[in-house]
Structure 1
Amino acid sequence: MSGKPSVLFVCVHNAGRSQMAAGWLTWLSGGAVDVRSAGSLPAERVNPVAVAAMAEMGIDLGAQTPKVFTSEAVEASDVVVTMGCGDVCPVFPGKRYEDWKLDDPAGQGIDAVRLIRDEIRARVEKLLQDLLPPVS
């Protein structure tokens, strides 16, 4: 246990939304949050359009690979953010769950993925405020 808050982002393929959310939280938290992402049916690679959209913001997802969702990842997380994974996500007592309704970037062009990227950033910023409130 690192003592830091931990977040797991889950979507079906772990190739777009969850990868972008993990990238944002890692970058915006400066390492103050343990970040994981996974998918119920992981793709072979991260969506190249999502990689390009995040690269525009200085966040490199190029080395990331989709990972399979496990119960252990949920147990190790304080917050589980689902993005369309449906009933596949198990629920553990004492965990905070959020379900973010977001468009899937799969098959979308860069302009549409930029909008999704920016919406994810806004949600991650709000989550980060909850996880690491300002010290007064």
Structure 2
Amino acid sequence: MTSKYKVLFLCRENSARSIIAEALLRELAGHRFDVFSAGSDPAARVHALAIAQLRPGISDLGLLTPKSWLEFTGQWAPHMDLIVALDERVAEYHAPEFPGKPLFVQWDFADPLAEGMTLEERTRSFEKVFWQIVRRVTLFMELPRYTSPVVLSAPSAEPVAHERDIVCPG
């Protein structure tokens, strides 16, 4: 029996970087990954510039909504295999405990919503961050650990361990 890897992307407002990462991984490898995103202080809606970056290549933008990371902490929450923080303000030591003790990593990208930018600077920042996330998600998908679904053994239904020490280059 096989199962998809479960990945949760975290960002403070869950309106830009984590949404972009969720959408890209789902679109590019949804057959191998169940992908989610959330934030500590979710925004009311996905940022318009994030939607503008995603619109040309994402088939179902309607799935993208900001969510609280608390939705993923309860006893009925899906057990993640990997949690990726895209904002240093939600690093592992700030995040709540998630069921199943998932691997936790940090991918550092500039905040396209940082204070003090003009609209033109913000638009360029969103485009730059979008392409950085595309590159990182693509590298992540190609890692040997994630090239095929999790294989579950019949008696214990526990995932077979693979190269857990390798998460994603640079």
With structure 2 as the length reference, what TM-score do the two structures score?
0.68
Rounded Cα–Cα distance in structure 2 between residues aligned with 1:88 and 1:95? 15
Rounded Cα–Cα distance in structure 2 between residues aligned with 1:98 and 1:3? 21
What residue number does 2:161 align with? none
Shift of 1:8: 0.2
Shift of 1:128: 1.2
Residues 53, 113 of structure 1: 8 Å contact kept: yes
Shift of 1:116: 0.2
Q: How many residues align?
A: 132
What residue number does 2:165 align with? none
What residue number does 1:59 align with? 58
Structure of larger gyration radius: 2
Rounded Cα–Cα distance in structure 2 between residues aligned with 1:119 and 1:7? 18
What residue number does 2:103 align with? 96
Residues 8, 81 of structure 1: 8 Å contact kept: yes
Rounded Cα–Cα distance in structure 2 between residues aligned with 1:112 and 1:60? 23
Shift of 1:89: 1.0
The RMSD of aligned alpha carbons is 2.4
1:94/1:62 CA distance change after superposition, 3 Å: closer
Structure 2 unmatched runs, 5+: 115-120, 149-170
Higher mean C-alpha deviation, range 72-81 or range 121-130: 72-81
Which of 134, 151, 165 does residue 121 from structure 1 map onto? 134
Shift of 1:52: 0.2
1:33/1:55 CA distance change after superposition, 3 Å: same
Which of 100, 109, 123 does residue 122 from structure 2 map onto? 109
Structure 1 unmatched runs, 5+: none
What residue number does 2:44 align with? 44
User: After superposition, what is the alpha-carbon deviation per residue over 1:48-98, rounded to whole angstroms, capped at 9, x for unaligned?
Assistant: 001101113x11574221000022498611000001214431356742111
Shift of 1:132: 2.7
Matched, 1:78 2:78: no
Tell me which amino acid in the other structure corresponds to 1:98: V
What residue number does 2:147 align with? 133
Residues 74, 80 of structure 1: 8 Å contact kept: no
Rounded Cα–Cα distance in structure 1 between residues aligned with 2:105 and 2:77? 13
Shift of 1:40: 0.3
Secondary structure of the corresponding residue to residue 88 of structure 1:
coil
Secondary structure of the corresponding residue to residue 22 of structure 1:
helix
